[in-house]
Each structure stands twice: as structure tokens, then as C-alpha cells.
Amino acid sequence: MKPGLFQNLHRVAVYCGSAMPVDSKHVESARVFARLLASNGIGIVYGGSESGIMKILADTALESGGEVTGVFTKSLEDEQIHPGLTESVFVENLAERKTALIEMADAVVALPGGFGTLDELFDAIARRRMYRGGHTKPLGLLNVNGYYDALFEFLIQVQLNGYSSAEDTALLISSSNPVNLLERLNDAVGPPGISRGDALRVRR
């Protein structure tokens, strides 16, 4: 059994922005989260970019002795690919990229980010809600400085208008404290699904 506080978490998929944020707290939170994962032997799988918060996350984890896997589409320009990753995975398109990120992880966490981050997050929520062909991975939000508060207000509107349920909203585990978030995700890890992650991996 994996030692430490988070025995059910071996690898976490992290969604985050490829741009630099205005709020410095977002930068520091990414560093703290990356160090926390690395110090507990939890690998990161992410979009593989060498820019923005994505770069900060990867650099910090690698500097802390952690393992970081990047998932890329084959059309991604070489200069966007982080050169120091533990391993890299190449897929055909964005749909396959999102699938690989989920399948290769025990849980999913979204840090503050933009349209790409939100796209990945809502895709993961929609797949989790599927009765067949979905996934069982718990979904987390690191709600830095109230970044996702407005999202939850919107989700309440979605629920009140009958497009979702309280159970759907409850799929998102949110905390501003990274340790608390990982503890709750660790407790929420369900039975493993079918994964093709090993078949996708390409070591660089």
C-alpha cells in the first residue's frame, strides 16, 4: 500500500491555465500544490505546456522530485512542449487528450484557469454523470482566493432551472486548502475503471 496521507492517490490529473494570472496567489498556490503532490509521491498528469501556470506546476513538481507526465496532441508545436517531463503521451486530438488525462489519473483537480481549463472540467463532469461509458474519478477544485465561487453560483442557477441536480453539483469537491482537498479526494476514490494509459505512454 502506498505510504502517507493519501494512500489512494498515485497520480492526479491537473487542469490549469497556460497563461500567467494577474493574481500572484494563483502562482503561489500552484507551487504549493505541486510540492504537496511531489512530497507525497503523487504524480501529475497535465496538458504538458511550457507556459503559464502549467509550467509553474510542472517545474515545481520536478524540482521537488515528483513525476510529471504531459499529454499532447500530435499537432502541438514542439516549442510548446515542456522539455523536462518524466514522460510524454501523444494522442491524435483534443478529445483523446481529455480522455487520456482522466484515464491516467486517480482523481482530477482544476486550478484557476481559462477556457481550456473550464472545457476540461466540464467534460470531466459530463463524463462522470454518464450512466455508461463514463468514469468514477473524483473531481476537485482548488478554489484559490474564491476564484470558483461564481461558478458555484452559476451551477445553482443550472440546478434551479432543472438542467441538473444537487447530486450533480455535489460531484465537485471544492476547497481552498490543498491538503483538505486531497484528503477528501483520497476518501472519494472509487473502484478503478478500464484504463488504456499504459498503452498510450511514450517515454521521452
- Residues 76-116: pLDDT tens digits? 655 578 888 999 999 999 999 999 999 999 999 999 999 99
Residue range 35-58, pLDDT digits in tens: 999 999 999 999 988 889 999 999
Residue type, 5: L
Collapsed DSSP state (helix, strand, coil) of residue 107? strand
pTM of the complete model: 0.89
More confident residue, 81 or 117: 117
Q: Which domains does the chain have, with CATH numbers?
A: 11-191 (3.40.50.450)
Q: How confident is the model at residue 131 (pLDDT cuts 50, 70, 90)?
A: low
- Where do the DSSP E strands lie in the chain? 11-15, 43-46, 68-73, 87-91, 107-110, 139-142, 172-175, 201-202
pLDDT score for 201? 32
Give the residue-averaged pLDDT of 180-193. Answer: 83
Return the residue matching grid coordinates 469537491. Answer: 173
Task: Please tell me the distance from the alpha carbon of residue 159 to that of residue 23, in angstroms, as a whole number.
Answer: 30
* pLDDT above 90 (res 14): yes
In degrees, to the nearest 5, what angle opens at C-alpha 77 toward C-alphas 71 and 78?
A: 80
The amino acid at 130: M
Query: In whole angstroms, how far apart are CA 176 and each of 115, 180, 182?
Result: 21, 8, 11
Q: Does residue 21 register a pLDDT over 50?
A: yes
Band of the pLDDT at 1, cuts 50, 70, 90? low
| 18, 112, 123, 154 from 160: Cα distances, Å | 33, 25, 21, 10
**Span 4-26, mean pLDDT?**
92
What is the mean pLDDT of the segment spanning 58-71? 96
Predicted confidence at residue 199, as pLDDT, reads 30
Q: What is the mean pLDDT of the chain?
A: 88
